[in-house]
Amino acid sequence: MIAENTQTQMRKGILEYCVLSIISRGEIYASDIIAELRSAKLLVVEGTLYPLLTRLKNNGLLSYNWVESTSGPPRKYYTLTEVGREILSKLDQTWQELAYAVGISQSGANTKTS
């Protein structure tokens, strides 16, 4: 139970970073973002993603374009703004620092048990 809670909190903590990273590759539709997150085992529902996208847009990190669809209503496609790219760059650096710190702590733990 404790491990599951921690895993959930870790996934929630990196969700914004993952969404920005996915959008940084180019214009993308929300359902495609959800599909990518699910394939990475970051199970996300629309009720989680849409408020996150709205918050990122309101903070100036995203913009969107309405694109006509041949199979229904127009679709909203998201892209990063320049501010979003700057924030993503800072988050990339933080991720690298965290991954390094975790790697160091794991190798230290392995050394102590050997």
Each residue's pLDDT tens digit, 60-93: 999 999 999 898 999 999 999 999 999 999 999 9
Structure-token pair, residue 93:
């650096």
Question: Which is more confidently placed, 103 or 88?
Answer: 88
Output the pLDDT for position 41.
Answer: 84
